[in-house]
Amino acid sequence: MGRKYFGTDGIRGKVGQFPVTPEFVQKLGWACGRVLAGDGGGKVLIGKDTRISGYMFESALEAGLSAAGVDVCLLGPMPTPAIAYLTRTFNADAGIVISASHNPYYDNGIKFFSSAGTKLPDEVEEAIEAMLDADFEVVAPDALGKASRLVDAPGRYIEFCKASAKTRLNLQGMKIAVDAAHGAAYHVGPAVFEELGADVVVMGNKPDGLNINRNVGSTHMERLQQLVQDEKADLGIAFDGDADRVLMVDGQGEIVDGDQLLFVMADARQRAGELKGGVVGTLMSNLGLEQALQERDIPFVRAKVGDRYVNELLLKHDWYLGGESSGHLICRDVASTGDGIVAALQVLKAIVESGKSLRELVQGMTMCPQVMINVQAPKSVVNTEVVLQAVSETERKLGDAGRVLLRSSGTEPVVRVMIEGRDADQVNTLTRELADVVASAAS
């Protein structure tokens, strides 16, 4: 069945433009209630990030769910993974997050978690879409859903994060700079590290509804890099707007991306005898990650781009660690979804237990130069003979020291030409040459 509204991570768009309108979101809440709770009953948790439109969509969802006879528990501004955790622990029928993640304030979106704290199965999303075509019918007045607010949601989630390290993590003597992106982790993120004993310097913790992700967070690392150096911090931690992503900065102000953080976690777990199976990355994961894991006899497989696909492969192999270069990192043994704070604590645990700095731990992995060029071209061009021959020739030139990836955009007629290898000059040259072949074949 084709999707009209749901993408790989819920529904997202510009506020006020269909489907990100209060009318549609109210109907979406009603459809969700009807599908997940049938003729009434049940409970759904709603959380949001800090963008101004969250108030409007929170009210719209509450009205729609109540009309379907479903009780609502409002969590207020909370990280996306916190909603997943609380949905599971409260035995709720579903959790709903109002967020557009790393996007600007004028975007927003709706994403769902199942009662197990995982992304909804495709068939449930399809059932919700089908219900959206039904007539809006309100249950009897005595069957309307009630609304309440969970006032201690932040405290519950902070304790969960602190416990996720599994051993008592002592961060005393460590100075950490934290960038909360003026987003959902503005209050809970710094508190977790402070309560574990760290000296925390905070930025991006003054949301005003309009400044979420604006020149801060994991998509704008420059100010955090400078803060780490100015404060002589041991490291910096950057979240995105809904705190399901994390990137770091080492003590010298260098960015440490999701692939490098995944390596640090896998390597630490292997040394401690706690690594179960292997690691899941994506088609975009740096070749250096794959090579570093191979050197340590750690299995590695690639999923399609998107944290839901990473999680699917983790479940298939019954492994624990996976993630994306962007900082979506999943520690499946402690959290049901990608969690920026939990992943950061896993890296801090590796630092404390090894006695090494983040910079020293990252040196166990050599990043390969990676170049990507976007070419205006239809998806079909990837399978033309001239392009396939060019790809084969490029792979021959790279040998075992590199890889080629042609990936079509899911939202526009663009083919992404990506090449990795050990020689930066060769990678640059080969990427330009292959991109030219793709462009020529499309013309």
Q: Does residue 440 sit in helix, strand or coil? A: helix
Residue positions counted in the chain: 443
CA distance 421 to 442: 26
- Please count the other Cβ atoms lying within 10 Å of the Cβ belonging to residue 113: 28
Question: Which residue has 């304030």 as its token pair?
Answer: 105
Q: Let me know if 101 is a catalytic residue.
A: yes
CA distance 13 to 98: 12
- Please count the other Cβ atoms lying within 10 Å of the Cβ belonging to residue 206: 11
CA distance 75 to 67: 20
Point out the catalytic residue in the list 101, 164, 285, 325: 101
Give me the phi and psi of 266, to 5 degrees please.
-65, -45
Task: Kindly state the tokens that stand for 373.
Answer: 């060029």
Question: What is the three-state SS of 293-339?
Answer: HHHCCCCEEEECCCHHHHHHHHHHHCCCEEECCCCEEEECCCCCCCC
DSSP code for 286:
-
Task: Kindly state the tokens that stand for 413.
Answer: 């007629």
**How close are the terminal C-alpha atoms of the chain, in Å?**
32
CA distance 27 to 23: 7
Catalytic center residues = 101
